[in-house]
Chains A and B, each alone.
Chain A
Amino acid sequence: MKTLTSLLMAVVLCGCETVQPWERGILAKEEMQWQTNVSEAQLRNQIYASKEASSGGAGASGGGCGCN
């Protein structure tokens, strides 16, 4: 947890390049988004969560199902 927090701080304070607002065209590409297919990602996460003992991490957990 400590490592993560310090990593997080490092990124927030880091010497990341300044990328001007007009230079963000590549970052706006669909394939650069955190999720490229929301429906498929939802299904994948649901399947993993119902077959493994872990869930969450990418957002708050929402409603449940009795998936087996």
Chain B
Amino acid sequence: MGQPAPAVLLPDMSAAGEVSLESLRGKVVYVDFWASWCGPCRISFPILEQLRNELGPEGFEVLAINVDEVEADARQFLADVTVSYPVVRDANGTTPLAFGVMGMPTGYLVDRTGVVRVIHQGFRKSDGEPLRASIVELLGE
């Protein structure tokens, strides 16, 4: 926390090409590490989608990083729970290691200058409100 976020450059799961965290510089980004087998991840997706729809125009984006071992499992999950934010895939665990992920899911709220400001481990329904407050605060900086 308070450190620049590690670099992310990973293949996009919904389109050809790659997405980097760098390309989102200037926005407030929630970097979300998730897997299809993680229960709270399923709770987080609709809430993140809603926050992104609401605060996207003000410069908020979600970058979801899938860490499933089996890609088909992740695709099945995305077919059930559709989101409009970018979802990328890290098949060999490089980025979660670089970020120091301690549990699933873990989200890193990165400010407009690329610095990690909030680390959010686990996800419950009621986490949406405080997360929204943090995002709004960072958007105002």
A residues lining the B interface (CB < 8 Å): 20-26, 28-29
Contact = CB atoms under 8 A, between A and B. Distances in A.
Contacts, number: 32
Interface string B79-110: 00000000000000100110001111010000
10 contacts: A21-B102, A21-B104, A21-B106, A22-B67, A22-B96, A22-B101, A24-B104, A25-B35, A25-B37, A25-B70
Which of A20, A21, A22, A29 has most chain B Cβ within 10 Å?
Answer: A22
B38 interface: yes
Contacts of B93: 20, 22-23
Chain B residues touching A, majority SS: loop
Given A20-B101, A21-B96, A21-B101, A26 B38 contact: no
A20 B97 contact: yes
Nearest to B39: A28
B37 A22 contact: no
A28 B37 CA distance: 7
B69 interface: yes
B33 interface: yes
A22 B36 CA distance: 11
Nearest to B36: A25
A29 B96 contact: no
Nearest to B67: A22
A25 B69 contact: yes
B68 interface: yes
Contacts of A29: 37
A20 B90 CA distance: 14
A25 B33 CA distance: 13
A44 B82 CA distance: 41
Interface string B51-93: 0000000000000000111100100000000000000000001
